[in-house]
Chains A and B, each alone.
Chain A
Amino acid sequence: MAFEGLTERLQKTMEKLRRKPKVTDADLRETMREIRLALLEADVNFTVVKNFVKTVQEQAVGAEVLKGLNPAQQIVKIVNEELTKMMGETAVPLNKSDHIPTVIMMVGLQGAGKTTTAGKLALRLKNEEKARPMFIAADIYRPAAITQLKQVADSIDVPVFDLGTDVDPVEIVRQGMEVAKEHHNDYVIIDTAGRLQIDEALMDELANIKELAHPDEILLVVDAMTGQNAVNTAEGFDEKLDITGVVLTKLDGDTRGGAAMSIRAVTGKPIKFVGEGEKMENLDVFYPDRMSSRILGMGDMLTLIEKA
């Protein structure tokens, strides 16, 4: 990966800094240039990177030199801390309603992983809380979307409410909510169709579903391989729906996942879960420190601090 060259470059910069008693402006600038590159290569949004670098630089300039750390180590430490802080510090649990059912709505671009994640969440709730979730099949557009959800649901033994593809999704959700109440399901998970945040008609549909179902949790599902555009998507969905959390999928790949940082920066909403495979078991809670390590390369960060 391109990052290897970058790590070496960063290491070289660090070497140079090693013997110095304090961080000079020039040192700082050079190091920050490498950090900026690392973040851009990890797909963190350009503007987010600019702001982040500024913050770190301010911190580093004002920072007292800690005992036992040389200037290089100190910069890396600050970067790592700031990044982790920015990613949200601790894992945030799922919102829960004080009366059943807790309603969870899955939203996002086409192919992000909504339907798969809906299944994973239901399984998790079943395993952890012996919950009795129900799905509402509100994607009437994608070919065989309902069949897909039903197959997912069958594999984890969860009921699906659907009305085929000829009924308006808002009406499907209305009737589905009634059925869930009758059956005393403690969770309702609404699977919606993928859509672009610039598609007004379809975004209005989501707003209408929200108004009707009063979801406790609106999860924006985002593909971890997303590039610079992650901010547009996150902003678009958040402005329209005031999302409550984010799920980052396909982290089992070799992407650095900078989208996580972009989304967090523009929405301030917590990333609650990460998808790490296609199987129903492959859902993990989000650990901000792990994610910041991944974006910058923690192995690399640790070695850098040790070697510097």
Chain B
Amino acid sequence: ARFRSVDEDFFDDLEELMIESDVGYEMAVRLSDELREEVKLQNAKSTQEVSNVIIEKMVELYEEAGANEDDSIHLAEQGPTVIMFVGVNGAGKTTTIGKLAARYKQAGQKVLLAAADTFRAGATEQLEVWAQRDGVDIVTGPENSDPAAVVFDAVKKAKDDHYDILFVDTAGRLQNKVNLMNELAKMKRILTREIPSAPHEVLLVLDSTTGQNALNQAKLFKESTDVTGIVLTKLDGTARGGIVLAIRNELHLPVKFVGLGEKVTDLEKFDASDFVYGLFKGLVNVQ
């Protein structure tokens, strides 16, 4: 009975917390309504019971939106697996490739990187530093050259020299720039032309500090390059990345990895319950 008297405040706080985590207003209202119902349904009373119900329900809602999807990385049945990285400027594409390449290399795979950001100052050199750190090979092109040519050279090399996996780094671009989005689609077509099943993954790299604009990013990148999953970066900061709930719900894109820092080891597979705990940190108890 004690809880009953505080529950409206509690759900107001919950809603506020979700808005402040960038879940978005409508989504936050909808979710807190569903959670309120669920708490009633389960007759949860103590704060701990309520916390448990909320976390379970949120994870269930997240997973429901993506039923029949899987969050693993799709590998080629034979020949090189190709993973292309796309996203807006500064989101963390190049760094994520550096981290992921190290993992595959350590797992004994033969890894190749394609430096298809020929535009931004120092972009090729940045990926080269990662290639060196990771001890993997890299294909580069001259500054300001056609990135599609780098993609072509890299995919050809991956085939000819029997690489297991090719990571394609692309220049950051804002989703409303039509020409740049077309350029991305062109790079993807080249990959498919050379290896019909490629790219096996197109990962959209999303900065977790991003607000509601992330939904537009996901929509437009999905339209131009058939994004297959999301990498949510910079979760080591104070942002909680709540917008991925709306993205999951509207576009059914799963988060595959999270970035938790700038070091090579700061990458983890996405875990829905960890994410939900992070979202409600401070309000619900972790058990």
Q: Within the assembled complex, what's the spacing in Å between the Cα atoms of A145 and B122? A: 7
Q: Within the assembled complex, what's the spacing in Å between the Cα atoms of A141 and B92? A: 15
Query: What 0/1 readout, one digit per residue, does chain A (221-233) give for beta carbons within 8 Å of chain B?
Result: 0010111111011
Taking a contact as CB atoms under 8 Å apart, the answer to whether A227 and B125 are in contact is no
Of the 9-residue stretches A39-47, A74-82, A92-100, which lies at the interface with chain B?
A39-47
Taking a contact as CB atoms under 8 Å apart, the answer to whether A143 and B211 are in contact is no
Contact A253:B129 (CB < 8 A) given known A198-B238, A227-B211, A229-B237:
no
Partner of A253, one of B98, B120, B122, B174: B174
Taking a contact as CB atoms under 8 Å apart, the answer to whether A227 and B239 are in contact is yes
Taking a contact as CB atoms under 8 Å apart, the answer to whether A109 and B209 are in contact is yes
Q: Within the assembled complex, what's the spacing in Å between the Cα atoms of A229 and B214? A: 14
B207 within 8 Å of A (CB atoms): yes
Partner of B91, one of A37, A111, A150, A196: A111
CB-contacts of A77-135 with B (<8 A)? 109-113, 115-116
Residues from chain B with Cβ under 8 Å of A46 in the complex: 16, 19-20
Taking a contact as CB atoms under 8 Å apart, the answer to whether A229 and B22 are in contact is yes
Q: Within the assembled complex, what's the spacing in Å between the Cα atoms of A72 and B118? A: 52
Interface size class of B (residues with CB under 8 A): 35 or more
Q: DSSP class of B's interface residues: helix, strand, loop or mixed?
A: loop
Taking a contact as CB atoms under 8 Å apart, the answer to whether A196 and B211 are in contact is no
Residues from chain A with Cβ under 8 Å of B174 in the complex: 250, 252-254
Residues from chain A with Cβ under 8 Å of B78 in the complex: none
Partner of B262, one of A45, A141, A197: A141
Residues from chain A with Cβ under 8 Å of B216 in the complex: 1, 254-255
Residues from chain A with Cβ under 8 Å of B41 in the complex: none
A215 within 8 Å of B (CB atoms): no
Which A residues form the contact surface with B (CB < 8 A)? Answer: 1-2, 37, 40-43, 45-46, 109-113, 115-116, 141-145, 147-152, 155, 196-198, 223, 225-230, 232-233, 250, 252-256, 258-259, 278
Please give me the 3 A-B residue pairs with the lowest Cβ-Cβ distance, nearest first: A227-B211, A148-B122, A111-B90
25 chain-A/chain-B pairs, Cβ below 8 angstroms? A2-B26, A2-B215, A40-B25, A43-B212, A46-B19, A110-B92, A110-B262, A111-B92, A111-B207, A142-B262, A143-B125, A143-B126, A144-B126, A151-B122, A196-B238, A223-B207, A225-B88, A225-B210, A227-B210, A228-B22, A229-B238, A229-B239, A252-B174, A253-B88, A254-B175
